[in-house]
Structure formats: structure tokens, C-alpha cells
Amino acid sequence: MAGSQETLLAQLDTLISEGRNPATLHIDEGTALDIVRMINREDHLVAPAIEKILPDIAKAVDCIVDGLSRKGRLFYIGAGTSGRLGILDAVECRPTFSVEDTLVNGIIAGGERAITHAVEGAEDDDMQGQKDLDGHAITRHDVIVGLSASGRTPYVCGALRKARERGCITIGIACTPKSPVLTFSDIALCPVVGPEALTGSTRMKSGTAQKLILNMLSTASMIRLGKTYQNLMVDVNASNEKLRARAIRIVMQATGCEAPTAKQALSDAGQNTKVAILIILCDVDAATARRMLENSDGFLRRAVQEQS
């Protein structure tokens, strides 16, 4: 055990995410305003770090689009904050883009309990990472995204190894260069955001960086798959009053019509926003609009252009 601890201590000494930040050494002496200013200054480093790796993020998006187009699925897998961020992005894809529950998936070390509670030791289990991923019967068309701020989490490394054995495309997101999670990945996404304002608290800059990248991966992939029209969420799943109101506004924004016209078109379309927009823009009935959408593989802009 002592040897294992010595090894871990040596590893932590090399991690950027675990380093002490000289800019915040006196953060404990500051007023509330001093503290939040220091944190805000550090947060300003995140977007520029991501900008440097945008070409790699774009490659990852292309791989995700290719996999999903071949009936594959997208998996995020991580521990702690990283795992929770993956689950958050996966869950949000369903109402935003009306995708099947199984298309985008989040897996966290320690299972469902770990979403709201710390599950001690879960992230250290390499074999459990492999088992948890294998439990989803992954195929070579699935894309696996491993999330780890430090880049060394054994649970994530195990899952990525298993994914590679199954022929999956693997994408690693870590904030430490040349870390194991990145070496097990076909595409390595490494925004170097530097040490945290609070030493080792990787829920801060590292977590923000991971969240921004996940936003890009899922949103850009869904856009490329025809889930939007212009910058409108035309595949939104109107499952509550707020989303039903949003669907009406989307139809109005896409067509320039008034609310009563949008409501009637949505009613005729069975609350399908894309169909409702086509009904208005192309002056067709619902059945024709559905056929147009099918012929364009669900791409609303393509359907409109082909009608012109």
C-alpha cells in the first residue's frame, strides 16, 4: 500500500491540474470580491486553451457523425465531476434534439449513486471501467469519449482499452498533456488550462473546459446530422409547457408567421416542428411535408431548397 501511495504521489507531482497556482497563493486573505476576481481571471484562460485544439475537436465531431450515421451510439465515460458532466450532456441531448434514449449515453464510475454522492475508490478500478462499458454491448460503430481532468483515471483508461479492443473510435478529454487517457485515444483533446485557483479542485477550470468541449461535440454533431434549421432547434421534443411554447416560437422564427398560424401548423403536423415549418414555408399539407422530410433524410434546409 505504501508503495502504491508513493507512486500516486509521484504521479500527482507531474500533473498540471494538481499544481499550485502562484496567482492565487493569497486567495485565503481576500475579500469576497477579491476571491471571485481571482477565480474569474483564471476562468478567462479556458476558452483560449480550447481555441488551440478546435481542429482536433472538429475531427472528433466528424468521427461522431460518422458513427451515429452508421447506427452507432455515443458514450461518455468518466469519474466524479467528469462523469457527471458526461451524464449531463447525454441527458440534455434527448429533449433538445429528440434523439432516442440510447443514442447518447453517460457512464460514471460507481453507478447511479455516484451522480449525487462520492463513491470512494470507484475511479481506481480499471476492470470495472471495462465491465461497465462492456455491459452496453458496444460495437465498432460506437464512439467512446473518456473524460478525466488528470488524464490518469484508471476507470476511464480501462474503458478506453476495452473500446479499442472492440474496434470503437476513442476520444480522450483531459487537461494534462501526454497522459494515459490521451494515449488510449484515437483523438486526444487536451486544453491546457493550468493549475486551478484552488489547488487540485478540477471541478473548476478543468471542469469548465470539459463542459465546453462536450457542448461542442454534441451540438456540432447534431447540427451535422440535420437536427437544426439555421440556428433553431427544430427537433426539440416539446414535452412540457415551456418546450411547447418554444416550439411555437421556433415555427414563428423560421417562417415569419404569427402565433395562431404556428399553433395550427403544429396541430396539423402532430406537434412535429419540422413538418409544421414545411407546411408553412412550402404551402403543403402535413402528409406532403412528411414525405419531403423523409426524402431529404430529415434535413429541413435540404427539403426547403429542393422544393424551391
Annotated catalytic residue: which of 6, 29, 42, 92? Answer: 92
Annotated catalytic residue: which of 42, 112, 123, 258? Answer: 123
Catalytic annotation present for 51: no
- Among candidate residues 96, 94, 122, the one with its CA nearest the CA of residue 107: 122
Amino acid in position 226: G
Asked if residues 295 and 306 have their Cβ atoms less than 8 Å apart, the reply is yes
Asked if residues 127 and 95 have their Cβ atoms less than 8 Å apart, the reply is no
Q: Got the DSSP string for 227-255?
A: --BTTB-TT----SHHHHHHHHHHHHHHH
What 3-state class would DSSP assign to 77? strand
Burial class, 294, CB count within 10 angstroms (exposed 0-12 / middle 13-18 / buried 19+) = exposed
Catalytic annotation present for 241: no
Burial class, 76, CB count within 10 angstroms (exposed 0-12 / middle 13-18 / buried 19+) = buried
Burial class, 266, CB count within 10 angstroms (exposed 0-12 / middle 13-18 / buried 19+) = buried
Any idea which residues carry the catalytic annotation? Answer: 92, 123
